[in-house]
Structure 1
Amino acid sequence: MLKLSNETKVGILTVLGITLLVLGFNLLKGKSLFSHNKTIYAVYKQVNGLQPSNAVQVNGLIVGNVSKLDVMDKDASRILVTLTITKKIEIPRNSVARISSDLLGTKTVQMDLGNAGEYLQSGDTIYAAVDGSITDALKEQLNPFMKKLEGTLVNIDSVLMAVSSILDTTAKDNLQETMRNLNTTMLNFRHSSASLSGMLDPDKGNIQATFNNLAAVTGNLKDNNAKISGILDNAKTASDALANGNIDKTLHQLQETATNLNATIAKLNNTDGTAGLLLNDKKVYNNLQYSLNNLNKLLEDLRINPKRYVHFSLFGKKDKSKPLPSDTATAQ
C-alpha cells in the first residue's frame, strides 16, 4: 500500500480546505456552482448603499443577486454593478435595473421589464435608474409644508407685533376692566343658573307647578270629554238645521218685498199718480186744505143753525137764525 508523507497529506488537506472555502463563499454570495448563470452589467452615478449579495427581483421574485460593485472613474462618478441572474428568464433590451429600498432600508435591484423583441445576453449592459430614498420622499413632501409653516410663523410674528403695539397702557387698562366685567357677568350667570335650577326643581319649582296645572287642565278636559262632545253635537245639529231650512226661499221673498217697496216709493215720488200728486204737488195740497176749511165752516154752521137746513115747526113760527160763522174760521 502506497504510503503518503505527512507533507503530502497536509498539502492535500490545504487544497481541499481552500476549495471548500471558495465554494462556501460563493454559496453565501448566492452563486450557483453547477448552473449556467447570466451576468449583466449596470452603470450608476450613485447606488444608495447597494451591497454585494443584495437581491435582484422581477415582479417581487428573486431572480439573482448583486455580484460586485466597481468604481469606473477615479472620482467615483460612475459605478459598475455586476448583476448575476440565476433564473432562466429573458430580459428585454429596453428593461431598466432600478435600485430601490423598503421601509427597513434593505436595498434591492428591481428589474422593470420592457417590451422589446430582443433580449439581453450574458455580458450586456442594462439601463440603470435609482429611486429616491424614503428620506428624500419625506423631504419632498415636507418642503411645501415647511414653506407654508415659515410663512405662517412670519404672519404670527407680525400679528403679535401689531397686538403688542396696540396694547398700550390705556388698552391694557381697558382689557383689565373688560376682564373684571366678564367676571361680574359670569357671577350673574351663576346666580341665574341657580335660579333656573330652582325653577326646574321637581318638587317646588315653578315649571313643575306649571306642568302640574297643565296636567290638571288636561285631566278636566278628559273628564268633560262627553260634555264637550254633546256641545259640539248640538252645534252641529243647529248648523245642520240652518243649512236644511228654507233660508234661501225666505231671503228670496224678502228680496221681492224690498223690490216692491222700492217700486211703491218710486210711484209715490212720481207726480203722475194721485198719491204722488198729494205728496209732491203744492197746489193740490192747498186746494185740499181750502176744501177742508170750507167743510169745517159748513159743519160749524150746521151746529149753530141747524134750523137753516132742517125746517120743522108745529105752529109755523119763524125761527130767527144766527149769522153765519166768519169766513176766517179755521179748521181745528
Structure 2
Amino acid sequence: MLKLSNETKVGILTVLGITLLVLGFNLLKGKSLFSSNQTIYAVYKQVNGLQPSNAVQVNGLIIGNVTKLDIMNNDPSRILVTLTLKKKVPIPRNSVARISSDLLGTKTVQMDLGNASEYLKNGDTIYASVDGSMTDALKEQLNPLVKKLEGTLSNIDSVLITVNNILDTTAKGNLQDAIRNLNVTMRNFTHTSASLNGMLDPKSGNIQQTFNNLASITGNLKDNNAKITGILDNAQKATDALAKGNIDKTLSQLQQTVTNLNQTIAKLNTTDGTAGLLLNDKKVYNNLQYSLGNLNKLLEDLRVNPKRYVHFSLFGKKDKTKPLPSDSVTVQ
C-alpha cells in the first residue's frame, strides 16, 4: 500500500479546500459551474445601488442574477453590468433591462420583453433603463409644494414691503388724521344716540306718541267690534244664500243650451237640411235666385197686363197685350 507523507496529505487537503472555497464563493454569487448559462450585458449611466447576486426577473419570475459590475474605459458614466440567465427564456432583441426597487429598497433587474422576431444570444448587449429612486419620487412630490411655498414667501415679502410703505412718515400722518376723523364720527354718533334716546322717552318721545296713536286705533276697533261682527255676519248670510241657490242647476242648463247651440251651428255648416243647403250649397242659391227672377217677371207682367190673367169684357173686345218694360228684371 502506497504511503503518503504528511506534506503530501497537507497539499492535497489544501487544494481540496481551495477548490471548495472557490465553488462555494461562486455558488454564493449565484454562479453555477455545472450548467450552461446565458450571459448578456447591459450598460447603465447609474445603477442605483445594484449589487452582484441581485435577481433578474421576467414578469416576476426569477430567471437569473447579476454577476458583475464594471466601469467601462474608466468612464464612471458607463457601467457594464453582466447578467447571467439560468433559465432558457427567449429574450427579444428590442427588450429592455430595467433596474427597479421595491419598498424595502431591494434592487432587481426587470426584463421588459419586446416584440422582435430575433432573440438575444450569449454575449449580446440589451437595452438598459433605470427607474427613478424613492428619493426622486419624493422630490417630484415635493417640487409643487416647494413652488407653492416659494410663492407664499414671495407674497409675505410683498405684504411686509407694503406694510413698511404704509408706516412711513406720510402714512403715519394720514393714519393720525384718520383717527381724528374717527373721533369726530364717534362724537356725532354720541349725539345721534342722544337724539334717539329722546325719541324713545316714555313721556315726550315721538315713538311713545306713535304707540299712543296705535292704542287709540286698536281701542276704536274694540269699540266697533259689534258693528264689524254684524258686517261679517251679513257677508256670511250672503255667501250662504249664494251657496244654497240653484247656481249649479243654472250652470247646467246654460251648458246644455250652449251644447244645443253648437249642434245647431254644426248642422248649419253641413249640407244636411234646408238651412244647411241654403248656406252651403251654391247650386240651391242659384236656383233660388233664378226662381226669384222669374217671380219678379211674373209680378211685373201681372201689373202691366192684368187682363191676360183676369178678363172682363162686356162687348167681346179683347185688349192688346202690352210688352213688358223690361225682359229682365234685376232682383233687388
User: TM-score scaled to structure 2, two decimals?
Assistant: 0.51
Residue type of the alignment partner of 2:10: V
Note the 1:147-166 alignment, pairs <5 A: 147-166=147-166
Aligned to 2:245: 242
1:52 to 2:55 alignment: no
Q: Report the more deviating stretch, 133-142 or 236-245.
A: 236-245
Q: Which residue of 2 aligns with 1:283?
A: none
Matches within 5 A, 1:137-216: 137-166=137-166
CA deviation after TM superposition for structure 1 residue 51, in Å: 1.2
In structure 2, relative to structure 1, the CA distance for the partners of 1:18 and 1:171 (3 Å cut) is farther
Question: 1:77 — aligned with what?
Answer: 77
**What letter matches 2:32 in structure 1?**
S
The superposition leaves residues 195-237 of structure 1 with CA deviations (integer Å, 9 ceiling, x where unpaired) of xxxxxxxxxxxxxxxxxxxxxxxxxxxxxxxxxxxxxx99986
Paired letter, 2:67: S
Give the whole-Å Cα distance in 1 for the aligned partners of 2:157 and 2:36.
69
On the 8 A contact 2:166/2:172 being kept in 1, the answer is no
Change (3 A) 1:63 1:243: same
Which shows bigger deviation, 79-88 or 67-76? 67-76
Alignment gaps of 5+ in structure 2: 183-235, 252-332
Whole-Å separation in 2 of the counterparts to 1:245 and 1:147: 82
How far apart are the structure 1 equivalents of 2:24 and 2:250? 126
Matched residue of 2:75: which SS? Answer: coil
Alignment correspondent of 1:118? 118
Where does structure 1 lack aligned partners over 5 or more consecutive residues?
179-232, 249-332
Give the letter for the 1:105 counterpart.
Answer: G
Distance 2:58 2:248 in 1: 103
Q: Which moved more, 1:156-165 or 1:64-73?
A: 156-165
* Whole-Å separation in 1 of the counterparts to 2:90 and 2:6: 52
RMSD: 3.5
Larger radius of gyration: 1
Deviations 1:22-41 (A, max 9, x none): 11111111122322111001
Change (3 A) 1:239 1:107: same
Does residue 20 of structure 1 match 2:24?
no
Three-state SS of the structure 1 residue aligned to 2:16 is helix
- The verdict on how the C-alpha distance between 1:172 and 1:67 changes in structure 2, with shifts beyond 3 A counting, is farther
**Secondary structure at 2:43 match in 1:** strand
Pairwise mapping of residues 258-277 of structure 1 onto structure 2 (< 5 A)?
A: none
The verdict on how the C-alpha distance between 1:15 and 1:242 changes in structure 2, with shifts beyond 3 A counting, is: same
Runs of 4 or more, structure 1, over 4 Å off, are 167-175, 233-239, 244-248
How far off is 1:56 after superposition?
0.9
Preserved CA contact (<8 Å) 2:95 2:111: yes
In 1, distance between residues paired with 2:41 and 2:147?
42
Identity between Structure 1 and Structure 2 (%)? 76
Q: TM-score if structure 1 supplies the norm length?
A: 0.51
* 1:74-125 CA-partner distances (Å, limit 9, x unpaired): 2323221110001121101111111122222222111111111111111111
Partner SS, residue 69 of structure 2: strand
Cα drift, residue 4 of structure 1: 1.9
**Aligned residue number for residue 5 of structure 2:** 5
Distance 1:247 1:55 in 2: 104
1:101 corresponds to = 101
3-state SS, counterpart of residue 144 of structure 1: helix
